[in-house]
Structure 1
Amino acid sequence: MNAAEEATRIVDELRALGGAERAEYEKRYLKSDFTHFGVPMPAIRKVAVAAVRGPRTREDVLALAESLWSVTENGRPLHEARMASIEILAREVDLLEPGEVAVAERMIRDSASWAYVDGLAEKVVGALVRRFPEPAEVLDRWVADPYPWIRRTALLALLPGIRAGNPDLDRLSRYGDALIEETGFFIRKALGWVLRELSKKDPSWVRAWVEPRVARISGVTLREAVRHLPADDAARLKAAYEKARQAR
């Protein structure tokens, strides 16, 4: 497979599926200065999946993902090409090796939006973390990284394990303590999101973790964390949070 030629073909296919009205809406919603064709996500996914249907090597997948990620249109990165790149990596993640966490890291550092970071965090990094021990050790560095999207990734990469019923509670607790007093919305939201997902399977753990930290936790994190807890537990934690907030 010639990755550059295949990337060009995919971009032409995506261009034909776009719409100006949706493109403008997406740019406003994502506060994006990228080029947008205005292609709905299901259509992007369909094109991406079709591109790797059939036998593909690890090298094919990486080359195509990298080629799509680097596509520019009118001098700016192309939103749909980047989303297709993520979908291809996610679709073929079982071909990837532990070292490919560096590919995801490079893409995350080249991102400034949850639209790209979250898919890479959960579908690529999180999937690698479930399969191999080495990427999980990388997360231990990322949680203290200066770049907030890398810190967000350290949290969201725990989601696949949680959803599979094999949560890394030690890392979740440590990362939560490291990030609980962050002021950035996207870090606060990510911590709440991970706690919320865990609460669906282990509400007792989430309650026990949140309760002694109500004086430190943000309202954004708390609201997500208690969303699926039993009503009495959620009410008690909210009341304790309000009492602590008023005492600050």
Structure 2
Amino acid sequence: MNFCNAISEDFQKASNAALALPMANYLKNNFTFFGIKTEQRRTIFKTNYEKYKLEVKSNFREIAWELFQKQEREFHHCAIDLLQKAFKNNYRLEDIQFIEKLITTHSLWDTVDTLAKYQLGGYLKQFPQETDAVIARFSSASNLWLNRSAILFQLSYKEKTDFDLLKSECEKHKHSKEFFIQKAIGWALRDYSRFNPAGVKAFVLSAQLKPLSTREALRLL
């Protein structure tokens, strides 16, 4: 695709080996980097989006997936930037399979958390009738990133958060030894504590969560 080729060429030109190494180290060397900072990466994306807007709008799912399969981490974030723009209130019912594929590909918190909050969260806002089935499946999966996504997907819901569902997810995973699950429980509860501090405090004090989850959940209280 012309857009993907142009992005690749511009990323190559903007690569900075001095920045690439610390970026890779920050993510525990799970990925390689061009060494492009977020602001510059987004400028490259916006320039090429305007240039190839017709192609991108017509094929944004295919383009995002092509980018997501590439090696360097900047491509994955570029794909998410594209989906942030293209997916708003523009989901198809079958897109949940695509979202799941993205969450479970090249998975780490820096992509998964955005996908969970905006793509999964946005999808379930558009199709609320799918919430129970999707979250039950993600929550019961053997993949910790799907589990984490099931806990975090309501981060953008604010006062509309389904607190009973959030509590249920926290209870289900509260014994997990996974750092990213314990952290997600605390983060989701802390975020909702801005809208229901008494409810969150009461739940945390009675739920016997892991110390990390408890500490994170009560940070604002």
Q: So what's the TM-score if we normalise by structure 1?
A: 0.81
Unpaired runs of 5+ residues, structure 2, are none
Q: Which amino acid aligns with 2:218?
A: V
For 1:57-206, list aligned pairs within 5 A: 59-71=58-70, 77-94=71-88, 95-136=90-131, 137-162=133-158, 165-206=159-200
Task: Tell which structure's C-alpha radius of gyration is larger.
Answer: 1
Q: How has the CA–CA distance of structure 1 residues 10 and 135 changed in structure 2, closer, same or farther, with 3 Å as cutoff?
A: farther
Output the aligned Cα RMSD: 1.8
Whether 1:20 aligns to 2:55 is: no
In structure 2, distance between residues paired with 1:135 and 1:52: 31
Q: Which residue of 1 aligns with 2:213?
A: 221
Q: Could you report, residue by residue, the CA deviation over 1:104-144 in whole angstroms, capped at 9, with x for unpaired residues? A: 21121112311221111112111112221254231121111
Query: How far has the Cα of 1:18 moved from its partner?
Result: 2.5
| 1:145-171 Cα deviation digits (max 9, x unpaired) | 111011001111111112xx2111121
Q: CA deviation at 1:27?
A: 0.8
CA contact (8 A) 1:117 1:149 kept: yes
Q: Percent identity?
A: 25
SS state at 1:159 partner: coil
2:141/2:147 contact within 8 Å kept = yes
Q: Which moved more, 1:37-46 or 1:202-211?
A: 37-46
TM score, norm. by length of structure 2: 0.91
Specify the alignment match of 1:239 in structure 2: none
Unmatched segments (≥5 aa) in structure 1: 72-76, 230-248
Distance 1:58 1:8 in 2: 16
Q: Is the contact between residue 61 and residue 92 of structure 1 (CA under 8 Å) also seen in structure 2?
A: yes
Provide the secondary structure at the position in 2 that maps to 1:96.
Answer: coil
After superposition, the Cα gap between the structure-2 partners of 1:81 and 1:43, relative to the gap in structure 1 and judged at 3 Å, is: same
Distance 1:15 1:180, change over 3 A: same
Residues 211-237 of structure 1: CA deviation (Å, up to 9, x unaligned)? 211xx31111111111111xxxxxxxx
TM-superposition CA deviations, 1:63-101 (whole Å, max 9, x none) = 211121122xxxxx1211111001111121122223212
In structure 2, what is the Cα distance between the partners aligned to 1:115 and 1:33? Answer: 12
Matched letter for residue 70 of structure 1: Q
Letter in 2 for 1:21: A
Question: Do the aligned residues in 2 keep the contact of 1:128 with 1:135 (CA within 8 Å)?
Answer: no
Aligned length: 217
> Is the Cα–Cα contact under 8 Å of residues 174 and 210 in structure 2 kept in the other structure?
yes
**Does the CA-based 8 Å contact 2:3-2:56 persist in structure 1?**
no
Instruction: Give the aligned partner of residue 39 of structure 2.
Output: 42
